[in-house]
Structure 1
Amino acid sequence: MAEGRGRRHPRDGALARVHPPLARRVPLAGHAEGRPARACATPRAARQGLELRHRPRQLEGGSELRDTATRKADALAALEKQHDIWLATADVAGRPHIIAVSAWWDGTDLVVATRGASKTARNLAMNPSAKVARGAPSDAVVIDAQMIDSRAVEDSADLAGGFAAAVGWDPREVGEGWMFFRLRPVRIQAFRGYDEIGGRDVMVRSRWLA
């Protein structure tokens, strides 16, 4: 029968208008989980709602929040690429001291060079705990480390060669009294702005989390 034409109802014989079938409607996600839903949606709208629920959170500017494995990879790439860092130390009384230093990431430790008579060297001799930072708040890597070894640059030919190849200068050629300090990471954090403060740890107690 053509659309819009009447036909008799099988029970009372009255004419009934034939209408096209209504679009199938499905409940929103909240209703499906047992919570009252404010409205219903078509299948297409429901699919879009589910996509929004499972879409990764995004940083300002549209980039997605990174997972731990991605943050680790980015942190390692940054340490291998950028060799200028901030190094903070403290004396036994807890008075802090911070300097900018060149650093070589050898795959396990950070190797830094400074004068043996400097305040940084004296602090590390008394208190081996240190904190390292690189980058800006929009892309930061922060490291808690322990100084595990120190030696004069003249007595460390292999170390000096690796350091010079990485950072572009050799402390053996800039004067006497320079020393290498090997810093072993204990905790590494990687974050891009305040949105990534949560989940910023990629290493805890010297163990990678991914």
Structure 2
Amino acid sequence: MTTGVPPRSREQRRKDTLARFETDIDVWVATADAEGAPCLVPLSFRWDGETFLMSTGRTLPTGRNLAAGGRVRLAFGGTRDVVLVEGAATLLEAADLEPGEIEAFAAHSGFDPSALKSPYPYFRIVPEWIQAWREADEIAGRDLMKAGRWLV
């Protein structure tokens, strides 16, 4: 099934993807533990124009998986307007962040981990691979980034 809307150019897909990164608040985050057991949760994030910043409990499965493996896949949108991001995660404590990052994260997401009693570290996600498509007619050319470099 298609919407009858012509497929977007890769340039338009990049613009739409960046707009989504700026405006969306939550994203599906997929990780796996050392045995390969998957974990999928929604987390709030902030995009700074190059990386994603998110926070989750240090002892929760996602926090443990990100800290141990450093690999993550993010899924934005519904099944007919998909953006997939794969990247590398770095564990950061609040003191590791630049001045204003915690406030910017809280303002964008509506979630302030520093107000919690349990430790909620931050994770910076550097995208390495990005795909975006809406319908089958956008499957070709869906790669927008490979090896951390924009293709368009």
Whether these two folds match at TM > 0.5 is: yes
Distance 2:118 2:68 in 1: 22
**How far has the Cα of 1:173 moved from its partner?**
1.5
Matching residue of 1:141: 83
Q: Secondary structure at the match of 1:142?
A: strand
The structure with more radius of gyration: 1
Contact 1:152 1:177 in 2 (8 A): no
Structure 1 unmatched ranges of 5 or more: 1-58
* Structure 2 gap segments, 5+ residues each: none
Structure 2 CA distance for aligned equivalents of residues 60 and 132 of structure 1: 25
Structure-to-structure mapping, 1:102-181, within 5 angstroms: 102-147=44-89, 149-153=90-94, 156=97, 158-181=100-123
Q: Which residue of 2 aligns with 1:205?
A: 147
SS in 2 for 1:199: coil
Moved segments of 4+, more than 4 Å = none
**How far does the alpha carbon of each residue in 1:132-168 deviate from its partner, in whole angstroms, 9 at most, with x for none?**
0010011111001111x22223664532112012112
Q: Which amino acid aligns with 1:97?
A: C
Aligned length: 151
Counterpart code for 1:85: V
Q: Does the 8 Å CA contact 1:142/1:190 hold for their aligned counterparts?
A: yes
Work out the CA distance in 1 between the residues paired with 2:37 and 2:4: 41
By how many angstroms is 1:67 displaced? 1.2
1:52 aligned residue:
none
Task: Give the Cα separation in 2 of the matches to 1:76 and 1:166.
Answer: 15
Contact 2:84 2:131 in 1 (8 A): yes
For residues 29 and 80 of structure 2, what CA distance do their matches in structure 1 show? Answer: 19
Tell me the residue number matched to 1:74: 16
Residue identity matched to 1:90: A
Q: Does 1:83 align with 2:28?
A: no
- Percent identity, aligned pairs only, is 35
In the TM superposition, residue 175 of structure 1 has moved relative to its aligned partner by: 2.9
Relative contact order higher in (CA < 8 Å, ≥ 6 apart): 2
* Distance across 1 between alignment mates of 2:150 and 2:117: 38
